Structure 1
Amino acid sequence: MNAHKITGVYSAAATPLNADGSPDLGLFTEHCQRLLEEGCHGVALLGTTGEANSFSSSERRNILEAALKAGVPADKLLPGTGVVAIPETVELTRHALSLGVTKVVMLPPFYYKGVTDDGLFTAYSQVLNTVADNRLQVILYHIPQVSGVPLSVPLIGRLIEAFPETVVGIKESAGDFNNMQAIIAAYPGFSVLAGADPLLLPLLKAGGAGCITATSNLVADSLRAVYDNVHDEAQTSVVDAAQARINAYRALSNSYVQIPTIKAMVGLKTGNAAWKRTRAPLMPLSEADYAALAENYAKLP
């Protein structure tokens, strides 16, 4: 592998809800279009920030179809298709491919903990061998603090070796920069994407490929400024200012439970209180927390 196959700034897009708790497809597609206009190279929908594992397979299919119907280009979408059951992961991946969406983010099966690399290799292999579509490009999803299932550096290598044209990247959301560096060093050309906004800048300097992050729901323009200018010494002040803004938004979003807070901040940005809604077991911010958030949000650059 030489050049990265997937690069850029991707938003781990939040999913708005209607009053009855169903996905608000119209508001979601508006959000996708805004993210692209603000500088995202693409939208990584149906991930952790998007509350994907609180949605049924049919809801996930409807969300992806709505984005395409609204005119979001298929090559700009990276849906999450990895779920607990292998046949369902196959089904969701095939559905994406049937719509012309060829890049997906794939969690490992995550219910059973303490599984071996052999077990994870077998699971991923069964999915990819069953889908059997040479258009497919998979970004592995490493988020052990949530999934409870880490993807080791040797496992990543086995998957790259077995599926060199298909397993092309990883979303590294553990926030472990040493692990990111280890993957970059071990597998040149493999796309390592940061899942934490503050790590985009150091990751790009270390040879990483970009990011898939939550704060891009709010400051996509600043993340794009970092990505575009990181290697231009004349733009150091632009990059530093953009990174400081990113960090400020990230810090505020982490002051409360992150996903409800990101959604509330999108609502504050757009003036649409519908964004405050979450699907159980996640709960919206309390009135007191929301008031404090709104006060602090108004002070952000």
Structure 2
Amino acid sequence: MFCAALTPFNADLSPDHALFAAHCKRLLDDGCTGIAMLGTTGEANSLSSRERMDLLEAVLKSGVAPSQLLPGTGVASFMETVELTKHALAQGVQTVVMLPPFYYKGVSDDGIVAAYSEIIERIDDPRLRVVLYHIPQMSSVPLSLDVIARLREKFPQTVVGIKDSSGDFANMSAIVERFPGFSVLVGADPLMLSLLPKGGAGCITATSNLVASDLATVFAGYADEARQPQVAAAQERIVAARNTVSRFAQMASLKTLLAKRYGHDSWTRQRPPLTPLTAEEAATVNASFDAS
């Protein structure tokens, strides 16, 4: 159970390292297995490579273990992806979440397999573990079952899982059924409970920034008959939180709620072109969350 962690920004829009590290520790205390930092929710594609590296190093220096981090390293340039992934490995972080190169659209499965192959072969490190990232609504580069099969066959010890943020439960189920032992991590909080009994591995989700303890309850107790009342109550809170932050822009809503939780303005800031909620939207979100 990994949190797709939000990134706080200082007034000059540089990442707030201290605040981010403190948030990571809070999430771990709340029951997260680890932190999936520098992903979509973390606004990673608005950060430079150097900023990504510095933020990763800052979290590690704060005392978070390398095994508890799952950084996103996939960018449009596959050579830059190599650089970011090698940096993570040099810090002791062995598992990364990797988008396919995403600028060119309508590319073939052959092209996607070739890109991942170039990246993995150029890194050439047996420690590396890659979680593929399927988020077609953002990347416009979907990862088909055939792509997964070919990469699994070519790199069975390296390509170990996928984060499916498509929202398509049928697709997640199909991956689980076709690839036993392959870690399928849902990207939408409410769907974890349904996928776990089918063989899903867990989640990497945004709303866990707020309801990590509830997701931990679901993850730990979904198969325990005696804990079903707790699981059902936790799931209800997860769905309510997800609905609240989906009413307006999701990341801005999550940041608004974290700013209230922590009492720190750094959480409300986003890098353009993303923008914070209006005062009216923020009031609505806060009231809705408090009432849930």
TM over 0.5: yes
- After TM superposition, give the deviation of residue 293 of structure 1 in Å: 1.5
Alignment equivalent of 2:222, drawn from 222, 226, 230: 230
Q: Which moved more, 1:158-167 or 1:257-266?
A: 257-266
Which residue pairs with 2:23 in the alignment?
31
Alignment gaps of 5+ in structure 1: 1-8
Q: Which residue number in structure 2 is paired with residue 191 of structure 1?
A: 183
Indicate the residue corresponding to 2:146 in structure 1. 154
1:183 counterpart letter in structure 2: I
Within-5 A mapping of 1:1-301: 9-300=1-292
Following superposition, the deviation at residue 123 of structure 1 comes to 0.1
Secondary structure of 1:171's counterpart equals strand
SS at match of 1:192: strand
> TM-score w.r.t. structure 2 length?
0.99
1:93 Cα offset (Å) = 0.2
CA RMSD of aligned residues (A): 0.7
Deviation at 1:234, TM superposition (A): 1.1
Contact 2:7 2:20 (8 Å CA) reproduced: yes
Contact 2:16 2:266 in 1 (8 A): no
Post-superposition offset of 1:297: 2.1
Distance in 1 between residues matched to 2:227 and 2:251, nearest whole Å: 32
Distance 2:284 2:217 in 1: 29
SS in 2 for 1:298: helix
Larger RCO, structure (CA 8 Å, separation 6 or more): 1
Distance 2:133 2:256 in 1: 25
Q: Once the two structures are superposed, what CA deviation does each residue of 1:128-152 show, in whole Å capped at 9, x if it has no partner?
A: 0000101011000000001111000
In the aligned structure 1, how far is the partner of 2:47 from the partner of 2:281?
26
Contact 2:221–2:227 (CA under 8 A) maintained in structure 1: yes
Q: CA deviation at 1:299?
A: 1.2
Quote the Cα distance in structure 1 between the aligned partners of 2:251 and 2:288.
17
Aligned length: 292
State whether residues 189 and 238 of structure 2, in contact with CA within 8 Å, keep that contact through their aligned partners in structure 1: yes
**In the aligned structure 2, how far is the partner of 1:241 from the partner of 1:290?**
26
Matched residue type, 2:110 = D
Corresponding letter in the other structure for 2:277 = L
Q: Secondary structure at the match of 2:97?
A: strand
Amino acid at match of 1:136: L
The alpha-carbon deviation at position 269 of structure 1 amounts to: 2.0
Q: Residue 6 of structure 1 aligns with which residue?
A: none
Distance (Å, rounded) in 2 between the aligned partners of 1:176 and 1:293: 26
**CA distance in structure 2 between the partners assigned to 1:169 and 1:48 by the alignment:** 18
Greater alpha carbon shift after TM alignment, 265-274 vs 79-88: 265-274
Structure 1 runs (4+) greater than 6 angstroms displaced = none
* Whole-Å separation in 2 of the counterparts to 1:264 and 1:209: 30
CA-to-aligned-CA distance 1:146-175 (integer Å, 9 cap, x gap): 111100011101000000000000000001
Q: Please report how far the alpha carbon of residue 271 of structure 1 lies from its aligned counterpart in structure 2 after TM superposition.
A: 2.2
